[in-house]
Structure 1
């Protein structure tokens, strides 16, 4: 065997292992993401303008739905916990119920420690979902004691590692009760304390920087909208986008309702009827309703012939999820880790859509996300909502053509195009 061949083999093995690890991470994230469409629909049905006092008037029914959906969408506990457990189960080999128990134990300890050090919210506000909430329901300031989904994902990875490393450990006889699987939740309690203390120390400067950045976007008009779109998609990959969102969506600007109540934030102002709101929401509609489903179609069409039917079914599902509910994580995570070039293109084009929509005078908003449900429900509150359909159709063509060209040109390993050796291992894993 030549030296070149010998050096190439380990390199291929390293790259193959890295690729498989990233793919496994992507599949692990799909588990908690699968819950979100139902949560989004439940939460939307519980809003005042649907089942609530401003809609059908079924206030008690609305409370049931908003409570059910809100529990899963809660950025301080619900979503991070879902991701923590999902990643732990997905990343640990031969995981079982004890893996999930260790993840939950670690997360509860981590969350409890973080909440011992909240940002001072003031006498007239309460800490809720990572923000200081005033009595009228508006966000007053972002708080940084909770890294949100990012923290949940990291804890899930730590749980998977420690479970894999210690779930068969045997202690001395007199500690035998704590052998193996019973040991991991105890270990995760200690690990979670260290991680929480690290977050409590490191998060304030990170959050302060993001809040300062979001304030500067407000005065930039369509350019600010575009920058926000790129930053939002980029920060989504590590779960930091909620800090950027908090100020612009729940604090920026003010609008006085007919009854004299003052509301703050791009989303509350839009839902209250402010005709100037929507700067940081409108451009998401063409991307979530049209562009990403077109990207899913491009991924399906470029899959290997013998896998095209399988991938088409999966892409149809995630494309419809994005179109109807505005939940984009399933399609975004399907190419984020295995084809980051596509995600970079997607982030830039999201910014372009934000800038174009605001520049053309279209103004729309959402209560949950920029999907068909919110688009239809908020039609009467929007300005030039029909323009979103035209812009969306243009972006669908651009996304399909560009994604297909880049995938084929650079031979990207999008779903259905995995290297043969990895494809065989995936098939063997499915058989097992």
Structure 2
């Protein structure tokens, strides 16, 4: 039962990443639009300000309609086949829900009267695509996405004979969903206010817990990375009212990320909302892991230092600049699990420290994002110099703590193993760069895909293929025949097996890997 629950949670975590993968792009462009439309930077009026407002107006509807985006993304991510049809049915189902829920509130006299949208704040109702409905935030989209996927996977291949054939397959899925969605539109009218009270209590508890709450958030967000369940920690804090809610210029924003972006676009904001404390888990990516890498180098065998340096430098650069940490973290996760616990504890501690110091930055990824979001906002609103100062302290502490533990327990971290540390040559680097950019020759793609699939037990052993930011995620029939060593020969930095799920860590080039594997499997 435990494995089944974990398996389902991992499936959901994989699916939720489908829409989330696109949101950093939206955020960066919105940050750019905020710079261009900020009068303190470009003046009170002019061409640049109009361009900034134009760009922002085009992108903001994505952030204010995340519920339907999650509905479509999750339905598509959980669908085992015919994913395009699942996405379309998700849109249909979402619209059916909005219309039905609005009508039920009207019929029962529960519809709150308002003059402007801001009047609905705190009433438990909101406007969604022009419909006044029960305010469920992104949870509505998540729930409907899961429901659509379950029905889709069960009925999408069901056929009827004769004249009824028109109503089979994915059309049957929608037919079955209509009464289910109608019932949910009624049920949520009564159940969700109670759930909302619980969510509000949870948010209040976390906020009341202060630094301890932030520590637990940071610790779990890091500690659960090997399982892939960390997405279930940071996502609701970033995009739902668990992470906070705030009215800005008459518009209600839910989640720490949305609140930060809205404040970034409003020059009248003097100090950013405390909800930004849930966006500062990138410190360890820019500082802490640099200290860990220096400790690996310092404690490595003299004959391995030159080779280890060539491996660590690109991994450190990737972590600092874009926040991809797996190439570094998976170098010690499997050989020294105790270090992973220490790593997670230190991460949580430093997130709590910057929260106590009143720092309110966007620091979820690397320095590129950090500069794009925080420099335009200014020091007064974010206190970003304090973040950097604390980060430098974190770097030093990571170095000495890791160095001490590695020597004390003789941990076989990179450069201390008896086996040879492989040197990454210029040729290797160019080949990896080509793979990441999709420029590998077709024959090499085919060879790579064949090797990966064979290492996973062959085509018949693979049930499904997905990916997140850095990992190829697969559901396998027989996990015992998966060859970890062969997978690592394809460039993987780690392999995680749990139940019938396998996660193969490839880093930023995982999208290219996913494409060649899908092509080889005929997906």
> What TM-score do the two structures reach when normalised by structure 2?
0.52
Could you tell me whether the CA contact under 8 Å between 2:137 and 2:241 is conserved in 1? no
Equivalent residue, structure 2, for 1:50: 36
Deviation string, structure 1 residues 215-260 (Cα, Å, up to 9, x no partner): 6777x6xx5355367569889727654324444x548xxxxxxxxx
Could you tell me whether the CA contact under 8 Å between 2:283 and 2:363 is conserved in 1? no
Query: Which of 58, 70, 73 is equivalent to 2:63?
Result: 73
2:70 is equivalent to residue 83 of structure 1 = yes
Aligned length: 356
- 2 CA distance for matches of 1:145 and 1:314? 46
2:354 is equivalent to residue 357 of structure 1 = yes
The alpha-carbon distance between structure 1 residues 231 and 419, as it changes in their structure 2 partners (threshold 3 A), is closer
- 2 CA distance for matches of 1:206 and 1:345? 35
Could you tell me whether the CA contact under 8 Å between 2:359 and 2:387 is conserved in 1? no
The alpha-carbon distance between structure 1 residues 272 and 282, as it changes in their structure 2 partners (threshold 3 A), is farther
- Mean Cα displacement is larger for which, 364-373 or 166-175? 364-373
Could you tell me whether the CA contact under 8 Å between 1:126 and 1:132 is conserved in 2? no
- 2 CA distance for matches of 1:384 and 1:169? 58
Larger radius of gyration: 2
Q: Please report the RMSD computed on the Cα atoms of aligned residues, expressed in angstroms.
A: 5.4
- 2 CA distance for matches of 1:101 and 1:314? 40
Map 1:117-132 onto structure 2 (within 5 A): 117=105, 123-126=114-117, 131=121
Could you tell me whether the CA contact under 8 Å between 2:359 and 2:386 is conserved in 1? no
Could you tell me whether the CA contact under 8 Å between 2:13 and 2:232 is conserved in 1? no
Deviation string, structure 1 residues 3-29 (Cα, Å, up to 9, x no partner): xxxxxxxx9xx94x7766555444333
Could you tell me whether the CA contact under 8 Å between 2:30 and 2:59 is conserved in 1? yes
Cα distance, 1:197 vs structure 2: 2.9
Equivalent residue, structure 2, for 1:237: 232
User: Which segments of 5 or more consecutive residues in structure 2 lack a partner in the other structure?
Assistant: 124-131, 222-229, 249-258, 297-312, 326-337, 407-411, 414-483, 485-491, 505-513
Cα distance, 1:160 vs structure 2: 2.2
- 1 CA distance for matches of 2:290 and 2:9? 19
Cα distance, 1:418 vs structure 2: 2.5
Could you tell me whether the CA contact under 8 Å between 1:250 and 1:268 is conserved in 2? no
Cα distance, 1:388 vs structure 2: 0.7
The alpha-carbon distance between structure 1 residues 202 and 314, as it changes in their structure 2 partners (threshold 3 A), is farther
Equivalent residue, structure 2, for 1:281: 276
Equivalent residue, structure 2, for 1:416: 494
Map 1:153-192 onto structure 2 (within 5 A): 153-171=142-160, 173-192=162-181
The alpha-carbon distance between structure 1 residues 245 and 189, as it changes in their structure 2 partners (threshold 3 A), is same
Could you tell me whether the CA contact under 8 Å between 1:230 and 1:347 is conserved in 2? no
Could you tell me whether the CA contact under 8 Å between 2:30 and 2:55 is conserved in 1? yes
- 2 CA distance for matches of 1:291 and 1:371? 11
Deviation string, structure 1 residues 315-356 (Cα, Å, up to 9, x no partner): 987875558xxxx9xxxxxxxxxxxx9999999777644542
The alpha-carbon distance between structure 1 residues 132 and 29, as it changes in their structure 2 partners (threshold 3 A), is same
The alpha-carbon distance between structure 1 residues 37 and 356, as it changes in their structure 2 partners (threshold 3 A), is same
The alpha-carbon distance between structure 1 residues 423 and 169, as it changes in their structure 2 partners (threshold 3 A), is closer
Equivalent residue, structure 2, for 1:206: 195
Cα distance, 1:213 vs structure 2: 5.7
The alpha-carbon distance between structure 1 residues 320 and 383, as it changes in their structure 2 partners (threshold 3 A), is closer
Deviation string, structure 1 residues 118-177 (Cα, Å, up to 9, x no partner): 98766454169x9469xxxxxxxxx99233333323322222222221122233644332
Map 1:2-401 onto structure 2 (within 5 A): 15=3, 22-47=9-34, 49-56=35-42, 57=45, 58-74=48-64, 77=65, 79-116=66-103, 117=105, 123-126=114-117, 131=121, 145-171=134-160, 173-211=162-200, 214=203, 224=210, 226-227=212-213, 230=216, 237=232, 240-241=236-237, 242-247=240-245, 249-250=246-247, 272=268, 274=270, 278-281=273-276, 284-285=279-280, 287-291=281-285, 320-322=321-323, 352-359=349-356, 361-365=357-361, 371-382=370-381, 384-395=383-394
The alpha-carbon distance between structure 1 residues 379 and 37, as it changes in their structure 2 partners (threshold 3 A), is same
User: Which segments of 5 or more consecutive residues in structure 1 lack a partner in the other structure?
Assistant: 1-10, 134-142, 252-264, 302-311, 329-340
The alpha-carbon distance between structure 1 residues 342 and 204, as it changes in their structure 2 partners (threshold 3 A), is farther
